[in-house]
Amino acid sequence: MTIKINPARLWNDIIESGKIGATEKGGLCRLALSEEDRRVREWFVEACRAEGCEVRFDELGNLFARRAGHRTDLHPIAIGSHLDSQPTGGKFDGILGVLAGLEVVRTFNEHGIKTEHPIEIIDWTNEEGARFAPAMQGSGVFAGVLDKETILSCQDREGRVFGEELERIGFRGDDACGDHPLDSYFELHIEQGPILEAEEKVIGVVGGVQGMRWYDITLKGRASHAGTTPMKMRRDASVAAAEIIVAVNRLAQEIGEGALTTTGVIEAYPNSRNVVPSRVFMTADLRHTRVDALDRMEERLKEVVAAICLQHQVSETLDRLWDSPPVQFDVECVDAVREAAKRGHHPLREITSGAGHDAVHVSRVAPTAMIFIPCKDGISHNEIESATPEHVGAGASVLLEAVLERDHHGS
């Protein structure tokens, strides 16, 4: 019997869920633990229960919707991603992976397929890290990479506490985070880059994820009057910040192939047009596929920040906020994805993820694989983020086949 997903239904779910937190430009603003996050979670829970799933959530708010399997002694094969977004995000990043899991369950139900393993759809809490840093918090605590109490007590920029916000939206459960064994984990995602589209490939077989490190940098100078303080007597934190931004960009060029560097947040104080800034808060994001290269990048970052601040008589603190080492996914799960793509006659490409995903953390506690599909112009974390219904359907079909393959051979 041929089992096929319903791509039109999946596409409709993406469009409907995208109305929750919709922006004027067609994207999403659905920050973790916001009112919009609560609403989409409730929408998702209702949809899963309509398909006969048992829904639970743990003390970090990670949401698990389980379809029973034939055998009760087997751990679930999980499909997941996240439903939260960037402040100006798109409708596909993360959302595709969760809703494709729902479509797989619906397809199994329609065809009367009883898998050996339970099948579980997971919505991980705060993958984006846009409101509460670092990213991938729910999956990080689940995998034992991040400390539960540290995450529950972390604050957003307005001083709101993660644990209190989780309580407020009604999704702080009693289940211990991480006390939930998985047989395996599959995550479908848009590539968030331009490679698949440029090479006219439909499926990216993801072998692993590059390493990444996040840094918080605070520069302290001296506030003074913009009209009365001579240039040579200023201790201007914003000038030091500007030079650091250029140096961070140059750092990737120095390291060479595979190095990526970004300064994503810049905040000047007191933020007045006629006051020389006394303080700047900024961030640095360093990425590479090799740990030794990341170590060299970090060393150079510290050197250039110290040198620039000394030159401008500005003090600095540089803290590594997050370190996610490079990851290689499970060979058998990756093989299952590759073979599923071949059976579906989808043009494929082996690829390494440049972005972080919940699969990074989950891979530490369960065999894991990812599937990529193209996104238009490689654009993501942007309201114009887009994918085609055909590619969405192809990715979900490969996901379904890979899960069936795992269920058959992993019992």
CATH code (residue 273): 3.30.70.360
Asked if residue 2 belongs to a domain, the reply is no
Q: How many domains does the chain have?
A: 2
Of the three residues 282, 299, 324, the one that is the final residue of a domain is 324
Cα separation, 240 vs 28, whole angstroms: 34
Q: Are residues 126 and 262 in the same domain?
A: no
- Out of 324, 351, 385, a domain closes at 324
pLDDT of 41 > 60? The answer is: yes
Residues 239 and 344 in one domain: no
- Note the pLDDT of residue 281: 98
Shared domain check, 182 and 44: yes
| For residue 329, pLDDT beyond 80 | yes
Tell whether 154 and 286 lie within a shared domain.
no
Query: How many whole angstroms separate alpha carbon 411 and alpha carbon 402?
Result: 14
Give per-residue pLDDT as tens, 137-159: 999 999 999 999 999 999 999 99
Q: Which of 257, 292, 324 is the last residue of a domain?
A: 324
Residue 264 sits in the same domain as residue 136: no
**Structure tokens belonging to residue 301:** 């970052």
Decide if pLDDT at 411 tops 60. Answer: no
Are 197 and 342 in a shared domain? yes
Residues 120 and 155 in one domain: yes
Average pLDDT, the chain: 97
**Same structural domain, 51 and 159:** yes
Span 327-336, average pLDDT: 97
pLDDT tens profile 46-59? 999 999 999 999 99
**Residues 21 and 155 both lie in one domain:** yes
pLDDT digits (tens, 9 = 90+) for 217-254: 999 999 999 999 999 999 999 999 999 999 999 999 99
pLDDT tens digits along 172-186: 999 999 999 999 999
b/e burial code for range 157-193 (CB count within 10 A of at least 16 → b)? eeeebbbebbeebebbbeeebbebebbbbbbbbbbbb
Give the domain CATH number at 70. 3.40.630.10
Query: Apex CA 183: angle with CA 13 and CA 106, to 5°?
Result: 25
Average pLDDT over residues 72-80: 97
Same domain for 290 and 342, yes or no, is no
Structure confidence at residue 324 (pLDDT): 86
Q: What is the distance between the alpha carbons of residues 292 and 161, in angstroms, rounded to a whole number? A: 35
Residue 240 lies in a domain: yes
Verdict on whether the full-model pTM lies above 0.75: yes
Q: Are residues 239 and 199 in the same domain?
A: no
Residue 360 lies in a domain: yes
Which residues sit opposite 78 in a β-bridge?
Answer: 120, 185
Work out the percent of the chain whose per-residue pLDDT is above 90.
95
Query: Containing domain of residue 279, as a range?
Result: 212-324
Establish if 150 belongs to a structural domain.
Answer: yes
pLDDT on residue 410: 61
**Is residue 2 scored above 80 in pLDDT?**
no
Within a domain: 1: no
Give 257's pLDDT tier (boundaries 50, 70, 90): confident
Residues 57 and 195 in one domain: yes
Q: Is the pLDDT of residue 199 over 90?
A: yes
